[in-house]
Amino acid sequence: MQQQRRLLFAALAVVVVAVLGLTVVMKVWSPSRPAIGGALSGPRVEPSQQATVAYRVRSGDTIAAILQRFGVPASQVISAGREHYDLARINTGRTLTVGYTRGVGHASSLRYPMDGDGDSTLVVRWDEQAQAWSAAVEQVQYERELVSRRFQIESSLWNAALGAGLRPDDVVRLAEIFQWDIDFNTELHQGDTFSMVADGLYLDGELRKLGDIHAVQLQAKDAPLVAIRHLGASGDVGYFDPDGKARRKPFLRSPLAFSRVSSGFAPGGRFHPVTGKRRPHNGTDFAAPTGTPVRSVGGGVVTAAGRAGGYGLLVRIRHDGGYESGYAHLSKILVRKGQRVSQGDTIGKVGSTGLSTGPHCHYELKLNGGYIDPLKAKLPVSVPLPQGERDAFAAERDRWLPVLLEAALLEPEGQPEVGE
Ligand SMILES: [Zn+2]
């Protein structure tokens, strides 16, 4: 009984606060409407001069419709913002904030995050004196501090890295550094460790994300793989081993990228490494949920894109040097015959078409018409650094390698605590 009464009071309080809040907003930007809440008794609340409303963009929304709904003069605001950002390109899921000021007959500001991280925000403000809108970009000012981490794989790379305080996007970036060497969906094992040195970007003393990743080591059961960041003369960033050989190679290790989907966060069930085991045949099978993007392992030209008997929906791509890759049982094909693709381009989606017992990508590689095992064959190797960049790289290596080796001696982080 006591409990119920308390709940009722709480609910009433929420309603009162909500109505008061709404009154503030309505008085400010819609003065023609009758003010509600005048009949409410209780403590007088002095309404502040400012109020804001947040709105999360839904799929199908247009910026004009949203702005109209919140009393923002759409065309003026969009054109004021255009010098920094085209508001017509609003993204589903981002939250825009509309501000109201007492005495102004329409909304007085709009804030929109220009990137997914919210690092840059477009702010369009109404200047009452000038009777005009003006736009600016607010940039989050991170504090930069070197971050060394070592973490050990227990259940998945995902869990280990998140346990070490990394964000999902940073885990994907780490995995991408080794995507020519390792299939992260099937080739990592319990006990493998990652060590890394990176710029940590901090806000209010809290690590928010990684900036530049300077050096990484993956200690799997074979020799450790080391990657050191190099800023090339052309401005591209690449990763190289200590001898100056690029981690990037003509062929990716796997047609499936390391993804959240394949590492335990699929709503349709957990992807287990065991189900991704390869069977010996003319190709390599990668189990993955239907719809997982399949990427071209290398740059080339599409030689087949369509239905092909037991292969189901099949894509074949011809690469330099007499190589041809094939991707079968797709649920969807996203390329046309004759089309040129780059390494990593999504060419289709995982499916179970043709002779297949469950969703997977059958991946095969041929050299001069004969099948080869993409995981064992000697594939073309990476190109070494151009002569003119070797000194610059040596300096980067000599700076970061010792720090990395120190990180590799840290106590591993990210191990889930398991009760005995
Ligand atoms: Zn197969």
184-214: pLDDT as tens digits? 777 777 888 889 999 999 999 888 889 999 9
* Residue 6 Cα to chain centre, angstroms: 44
Find the radius of gyration of the CA atoms of the chain: 28
Q: How many Å lie between the centroid of ligand 1 and the Cα of residue 157?
A: 25
Q: How many angstroms separate the CA atoms of 350 and 360, rounded?
A: 6
Amino acid identity for residue 175 in this structure: A
Task: List, edge to edge, every strand of the sheet that includes 346-349.
Answer: 293-295, 346-349, 332-333
Q: How many Å lie between the centroid of ligand 1 and the Cα of residue 367?
A: 18
Q: How many angstroms separate the CA atoms of 216 and 227, rounded?
A: 5
Contact in structure between 241 and 247 (CB atoms under 8 Å): yes
Q: How many Å lie between the centroid of ligand 1 and the Cα of residue 362?
A: 4
Q: What sign for the dihedral angle of Cα 368, 371, 373, 377? A: negative
Q: How many Å lie between the centroid of ligand 1 and the Cα of residue 284?
A: 6
Q: How many Å lie between the centroid of ligand 1 and the Cα of residue 180?
A: 21
Inform me whether the pLDDT recorded for 257 exceeds 50: yes
Token pair for 220 = 């799997």
Confidence of residue 392 (pLDDT cuts 50, 70, 90): very high
- For 326, the 3-state DSSP assignment is strand
Q: How many Å lie between the centroid of ligand 1 and the Cα of residue 317?
A: 17
Token pair for 152 = 């050990």
Q: How many Å lie between the centroid of ligand 1 and the Cα of residue 283?
A: 6
Inform me whether the pLDDT recorded for 7 exceeds 70: no
Residues written for the chain: 420
pLDDT of residue 345: 95
Closest C-alpha among 152, 175, 178 to residue 164 = 152
Q: How many Å lie between the centroid of ligand 1 and the Cα of residue 308?
A: 14
Q: How many Å lie between the centroid of ligand 1 and the Cα of residue 294?
A: 14
Q: How many Å lie between the centroid of ligand 1 and the Cα of residue 285?
A: 5
16-51: pLDDT as tens digits? 334 333 333 333 333 333 333 333 434 444 456 888
Q: How many Å lie between the centroid of ligand 1 and the Cα of residue 172?
A: 26
Domains and CATH numbers, the chain: 45-139 (3.10.450.350), 144-249+384-420 (3.10.450.350), 255-380 (2.70.70.10)
* Residue 150 Cα to chain centre, angstroms: 22
Q: How many Å lie between the centroid of ligand 1 and the Cα of residue 286?
A: 8
pLDDT of residue 47: 55
Q: How many Å lie between the centroid of ligand 1 and the Cα of residue 416?
A: 35
Token pair for 176 = 């991408």
Q: How many Å lie between the centroid of ligand 1 and the Cα of residue 273?
A: 16
Q: Is 218 exposed, middle or buried (0-12, 13-18, 19+ CB in 10 A)?
A: buried
**CA-to-CA dists, residue 147 to 213, 239, 407, angstroms:** 9, 18, 9
Q: How many angstroms separate the CA atoms of 48 and 46, rounded?
A: 6
Q: How many Å lie between the centroid of ligand 1 and the Cα of residue 323?
A: 19
Lowest mean pLDDT among 162-176, 230-244, 269-283, 399-413: 269-283
Q: How many angstroms separate the CA atoms of 140 and 395, rounded?
A: 31
Q: How many Å lie between the centroid of ligand 1 and the Cα of residue 329?
A: 9
Amino acid identity for residue 45 in this structure: V
Q: How many angstroms separate the CA atoms of 266 and 279, rounded?
A: 23
Q: How many Å lie between the centroid of ligand 1 and the Cα of residue 119?
A: 44
Question: CB 341: neighbour CB atoms within 10 A?
Answer: 20
Q: How many Å lie between the centroid of ligand 1 and the Cα of residue 110?
A: 53
Q: How many Å lie between the centroid of ligand 1 and the Cα of residue 361?
A: 7
pLDDT of residue 186: 75
Q: How many Å lie between the centroid of ligand 1 and the Cα of residue 400?
A: 42
Q: How many Å lie between the centroid of ligand 1 and the Cα of residue 253?
A: 16
Amino acid identity for residue 12 in this structure: L
Residue linked to tokens 């007492």: 102
pLDDT of residue 40: 40
Q: How many Å lie between the centroid of ligand 1 and the Cα of residue 358?
A: 11
Read off the pLDDT of each residue in 142-169 and give the average, rounded to a whole number.
84
Question: CB 159: neighbour CB atoms within 10 A?
Answer: 19
Q: How many angstroms separate the CA atoms of 101 and 123, rounded?
A: 15
Q: How many angstroms separate the CA atoms of 115 and 286, rounded?
A: 33
Percentages helix, strand, coil for the chain (3-state, rounded to 5) are 25, 30, 45
**CA-to-CA dists, residue 135 to 85, 114, 132, angstroms:** 10, 13, 10
Q: What sign for the dihedral angle of Cα 128, 133, 136, 137? A: positive
- φ, ψ dihedrals at 51, nearest 5°: -145, 150
Contact in structure between 404 and 197 (CB atoms under 8 Å): yes
Confidence of residue 384 (pLDDT cuts 50, 70, 90): confident
Contact in structure between 330 and 314 (CB atoms under 8 Å): yes
Q: How many angstroms separate the CA atoms of 218 and 403, rounded?
A: 15
Q: How many angstroms separate the CA atoms of 224 and 227, rounded?
A: 10
Q: How many Å lie between the centroid of ligand 1 and the Cα of residue 312?
A: 11
In Å, the largest CA–CA distance within the chain is 86
69-97: pLDDT as tens digits? 888 888 899 999 999 999 888 888 999 99
